[in-house]
Amino acid sequence: AQSVTQLGSHVSVSEGALVLLRCNYSSSVPPYLFWYVQYPNQGLQLLLKYTSAATLVKGINGFEAEFKKSETSFHLTKPSAHMSDAAEYFCAVSPGGATNKLIFGTGTLLAVQP
């Protein structure tokens, strides 16, 4: 079965500091991995995705993530946090192939301090 674990339900960084949001996955087949961002009372917006191509994936708003198979990780990073990055971030996994389900982690709330 596939699953996703996000370590740290709350992360607080200073503006300009490095953002690191952790995600570990469990999958019996090569997975597709995604990071989504959610602002209050809104749907989810795709930040980036890994679909078995390059292991370092660049997304929108300066975010990137690296797929590390040996560590079963897909951590999200951004070199310099902006106030506008404050939001909830979800890591998700979808088994490759025809399976449709998207399985979410529990989310990490990112706070950015001035």
Partner 1 sequence: GAVVSQHPSRVICKSGTSVKIECRSLDFQATTMFWYRQFPKQSLMLMATSNEGSKATYEQGVEKDKFLINHASLTLSTLTVTSAHPEDSSFYICSARVHARDGYTFGSGTRLTVV
Question: Is residue 71 classed exposed, middle or buried when 0-12, 13-18 and 19+ CB atoms within 10 A define those classes?
Answer: exposed
Residue 90 found at the interface with partner 1 (CB under 8 A) = yes
Position among 1, 41, 56, 114 found at the interface with partner 1 (CB under 8 A): 41
Supply the minimum distance, in Å, between the C-beta of residue 51 and partner 1. 4
Residue carrying structure tokens 């019996």: 28
Name the region of 83 (left: φ>0; alpha: ψ -120 to 50; beta: rest).
alpha
Considering only the stretches 21-29, 60-68, 75-83, 101-109, report the one whose residues sit in contact with partner 1 under the rule CB under 8 A: 101-109
- 101/114 with CB nearer partner 1: 101
